[in-house]
Structure 1
Amino acid sequence: MNNFITGAAMGAALTTAGVYAPDIILSQFKFQDFTMLQTFLSAAAGSTLVVTAAQTLHLTALPPRPCASLGLGCLGTRYDGNLLGGALLGAGMAVSGACPGTVLAQLGVGVASGRWALAGTVLGGVVWSGIVKGWRRGGGFGSAREQQGTGTVGRGAAEGDGKKKMKEEAREAEMPLTVYDALGVSRGALLVGLEAVLVLGVAACARFANAGAAEARGVPPYLGGLAIAAAQLVSIVLRGSLLGASTGFEELGGWVWGASRKYANVLFSAGVVAGAWIISAAVPALRPITDVAVSPARSVLGGFMIVFGSRMAGGCTSGHGISGLSLMSISSFLTAAAIFGAGGVTGLLMG
């Protein structure tokens, strides 16, 4: 029940902020309206304060987000999954006008394109859970283990590869996962600097946000962002964990393949839909102002991209973009940069 309630809080917050609406998302990646970015930065600033306070008061001891390594030598970094997955997620957002969290809110509010995007997200979860995860367990993404059993790699080579992998994991365990560790500064010092940058970013975005749209909804973007931060607090209090939406689609995909019977994140997703439906029914002004026509094919494709990219990166716009930044995780900063970078390029190319 705690997962459902937390999801409802997030769904209500996303709907109140208005960032679930396809026109807000698509306008951001076309650089026409910075309402989405202003809300995102406000949410990140508020969530960082909430998470830091919870850790300082020993209410929770959440570890930083690890890197999402695909083992691809071409990028020369253990963050290749964060970069490639984040880029795919951002491009998918610019295609569909949705992300793993907002597509659920769209379903609750009744956005037509959201239903098609949801079909794509479910497909992405099924493909990831049943095909890609199994391939990775078998040694995919460039590992020598994928050749075991084919006669091309002998037992000695496999054992040597295993020892090499253990050494690599040991080295990675010694590498910093947070920005403050990487920079050699205290968490408090980075907190002050990060909050200052985020607040300045919110102020800068205000110059390019559609004030009329925000006023029509009755909620300024920065207050919408703080509502999302409040949902983060609910998540910490009720679940002891942070917000994240894409895992629910992977969990659902596991159901389809009969590989998993977990349901906590699916309950969270159902809560997001319910929370969006309840708040939009109670306050009709929160419903979309502009009915942006996103074709079914485009919505399905984008929906697939956002979930597949999220799972590749190990988190989505909420898991990395809000929660991961709050933990000051290096992987989350890189993922967020890839999301907005690739989303912006895709939005401009699509006109």
Structure 2
Amino acid sequence: METLSPRCILSGVLFGAALTAAGIYSPTVIIQQMHFEDFHMMKAFFSASATSALAIILANRLHFSACKPRAPNTLNWFSKYDGNLVGGALLGVGMALTGACPGTVLPQLATGIPSASYVLLGGLLGGILYSRYGKSLIRPAQAEVKADSKQIEERLTIDQVLKIDSTRALAIYETLCLSIVASVSYLAPDKPDVLLPGAVGGLLIGLSQFASLFLTSSTLGVSTAYEQLGNVFWWVYRTIVLGKRSPRPSIKATSFVLGSVLGSWGLGKALGLSGGGGKGEVIIGTLRAVAGGVLLTFGSRVAGGCTSGHGISGMSLLSVGSFVSVGAMFAGGMGTAAVLKFCGSA
């Protein structure tokens, strides 16, 4: 029977510490980004994605990991990428409601942010709901067929879609990310109270990608753990209530989550970080936190990944589905933040 993996735990420790040092786990930082009032998150995000892309190239060349682009998540309702669109938008709504994502709620919990436990509860409920009702929504993507041929053509990445050289496409992406970080840093300098500049924090997150590839041969991603815990819930239900015996579901991703909490807690203690509701900090109500937590998990699983799985890993691989998911995530989050502000609930 599978047990917790020490390598996954260590990878999670490094990722959790990097998130905490980057300072992008704060609900205030996340929600202010959705309002275009603070750009610390954006700088860290694009810096992390650019660094992650280089980490993936290095891991591939050193032959300790072979990363593959992410396939689209399809509901077959209206588009090949409709799962990425719908799920990403739901994830963004959840982020605007909670000031968290499936990954950043872990440092929030470790550093004592009051709403974190309720967001996590909602996230676990979302995992339970997705495990039972959401998986059946996902359909195999319809294969593309070349004209006058029966050969199936998979075009999962930006370079494949645009039919350009992959190295050139990656160079363009790196340049774009660095240009965004440099421009935003110039126009919206980091506040004096941040632990690290956004670009430096993103660099640390990108380096934790390399650690994950070295230790586990897998790219960063958190939302899978919530789905796995949902699978365990229903396995326990079938075993105890219905008396049906079956192998226990995998809990591999849970090791990573556990490590992330430990890494964040350790660094938080070492630096004296506290998540108490200080002046100017966003206070998230209980119902809003739980409901938003459900949307975080359910949306990220419908999309096939969260901010770390798509934004840090998938976009670094130039996966089209990841760009669609992240675009929908920010659209959903910023739209929701605007509505909440208009209603006086921001």
TM-score range, shorter chain: 0.7 to 0.9
1:36 matched to which residue of 2?
A: 41
Code of the residue aligned with 1:176 in structure 2: it is: R
Question: Structure 2 length normalisation: TM-score?
Answer: 0.87
Q: In structure 2, how many angstroms separate the alpha carbons of the residues matched to 1:265 and 1:248?
A: 5
Q: In structure 2, how many angstroms separate the alpha carbons of the residues matched to 1:95 and 1:105?
A: 17
* Structure 2 unmatched ranges of 5 or more: 1-5, 146-150, 237-247, 342-346
2:323 matched to which residue of 1?
A: 333
2:60 matched to which residue of 1?
A: 55
Deviations 1:3-31 (A, max 9, x none): 11111111101100010110000000011
2:336 matched to which residue of 1?
A: 346
Code of the residue aligned with 1:335 in structure 2: it is: S
SS in 1 for 2:8: helix
2:89 matched to which residue of 1?
A: 87
Q: In structure 2, how many angstroms separate the alpha carbons of the residues matched to 1:218 and 1:109?
A: 14
Deviation at 1:342, TM superposition (A): 1.4
Q: In structure 2, how many angstroms separate the alpha carbons of the residues matched to 1:209 and 1:104?
A: 27
Structure with greater proportional helix content: 1
Q: In structure 2, how many angstroms separate the alpha carbons of the residues matched to 1:317 and 1:350?
A: 22
Residue number among 250, 253, 260 corresponding to 1:265 in the alignment: 253
Q: Which range moves more in the overlay, 21-30 or 175-184?
A: 175-184
1:156 matched to which residue of 2?
A: none
Code of the residue aligned with 2:125 in structure 1: it is: L
Code of the residue aligned with 1:255 in structure 2: it is: V
The alignment status of 1:231 with 2:205, answered yes or no, reads no
Q: In structure 1, how many angstroms separate the alpha carbons of the residues matched to 2:319 and 2:152?
A: 14
SS in 1 for 2:193: helix
SS in 2 for 1:267: helix
Q: In structure 1, how many angstroms separate the alpha carbons of the residues matched to 2:315 and 2:115?
A: 29
Q: In structure 2, how many angstroms separate the alpha carbons of the residues matched to 1:333 and 1:95?
A: 22
CA RMSD of aligned residues (A): 1.9
**Contact 2:143–2:154 (Cα < 8 Å) also in 1:** no
Code of the residue aligned with 2:320 in structure 1: it is: I
1:206 matched to which residue of 2?
A: 185
1:318 matched to which residue of 2?
A: 308
Question: Structure 1 length normalisation: TM-score?
Answer: 0.86
**Contact 1:280–1:287 (Cα < 8 Å) also in 2:** no
**Contact 2:112–2:274 (Cα < 8 Å) also in 1:** no
**Contact 1:17–1:219 (Cα < 8 Å) also in 2:** yes
Matches within 5 A, 1:89-128: 89-128=91-130
Q: In structure 2, how many angstroms separate the alpha carbons of the residues matched to 1:340 and 1:70?
A: 20
The total of aligned residue pairs comes to: 318
Deviation at 1:207, TM superposition (A): 3.9
Change (3 A) 1:197 1:251: same
**Contact 1:48–1:326 (Cα < 8 Å) also in 2:** yes
SS in 2 for 1:318: helix
Deviation at 1:53, TM superposition (A): 2.0
Deviation at 1:217, TM superposition (A): 3.1
Q: In structure 2, how many angstroms separate the alpha carbons of the residues matched to 1:238 and 1:226?
A: 19
SS in 2 for 1:315: coil
Code of the residue aligned with 1:116 in structure 2: it is: Y
The alignment status of 1:276 with 2:264, answered yes or no, reads yes
Q: In structure 2, how many angstroms separate the alpha carbons of the residues matched to 1:312 and 1:327?
A: 20
Deviation at 1:175, TM superposition (A): 2.9
Query: Identity of aligned pairs, percent?
Result: 39
